[in-house]
Amino acid sequence: MNKFVAGPCVIESAELLDCVAAKLVEINARLGVDIIFKASFDKANRTSLTSYRGVGLEKGLQMLADVKSKWGLKLCTDIHEAWQAAPAGEVVDVVQIPAFLCRQTDLLVAAAQTGKIVNIKKAQFLSGEDMIYPYEKAVKSGAKEVWLTERGNMYGYNNLVVDFRNIPDMKKIAQTVVMDCTHSVQRPGAAGGKTGGNREFVPAMAQAAKAFGANGFFFEIHPDPDHGMSDAANMLELDKFEAVVKSLI
């Protein structure tokens, strides 16, 4: 069965988390899927120093734990430093490694040692075949399950291009290859000190990835993405998400 991960880019408020979680519970029930809830407690790679980063590790993990307790959803969050792995692993089911950091050995080792699923995003400067090395770092450090995620390559200023051949290349390495359908439509740094994007291409990105054999799909979703505090331009509208999931199953 395809794996799905979805949620707001960053934790903004408990109200936002509850709004998105409630929708995911409804979709799971209607479509018979098991969407994993994702949100970041800290966005350490924002374009500008003045950009909103999140609520921090301690508060963020408590808010995510509240989502699991209240809504019964599995959880995913990303870490940026090795010391964050252990506390994150006590709360979430999937520890995610950001693309820019996928070669950081200490980070991969710490994530693997949590005993949770490790989802490694492919860097914008690597090929799918290159991901054998981050994958092996995690596996040899004790990770029981490792996913690899495609999210585009940087070929020019302020733009990403997805080479879908990376998906079958990574499936030779890992059993689960995820398409990051929203980050792949980013326009990095292209919106005056923040990242732009083209969310209208998200459904097509998902379908193209499915055609190339992706068996996981990652979406950042928001009830009012234009006013989201991170990745506003590429997050998918919450009310359009179910139709996209339905088209993939």
CA dist 33 to 37, 66, 218, 227, Å?
Answer: 12, 21, 14, 28
| Residues 53-66, mean pLDDT to the nearest whole number | 95
Q: Measured between alpha carbons, how far is 140 from 129 in angstroms, rounded to an integer? A: 18
Question: How does pLDDT run across 7-26, given as a tens digit for each residue?
Answer: 999 999 999 999 999 999 99
- pTM of the prediction? 0.93
Q: Encode burial over 75-104: b for 16+ CB neighbours within 10 A, e otherwise.
A: bbbbbbebebbeebbebbebbbbbbebbbb
pLDDT score of 193 more than 80: no
Q: Give the per-residue pLDDT at 60.
A: 97
What's the CATH number for 3-248? 3.20.20.70
Half-sphere exposure of 66 (CA within 13 A, CB side): 14
CA dist 50 to 10, 43, 60, 103, 184, Å?
Answer: 15, 12, 20, 27, 24
Question: How does pLDDT run across 213-235, given as a tens digit for each residue?
Answer: 999 999 999 999 988 877 778 89
Question: How does pLDDT run across 70-111, given as a tens digit for each residue?
Answer: 999 999 999 999 999 999 999 999 999 999 999 999 999 999
Compute φ and ψ for 91, nearest 5 degrees: -115, -45
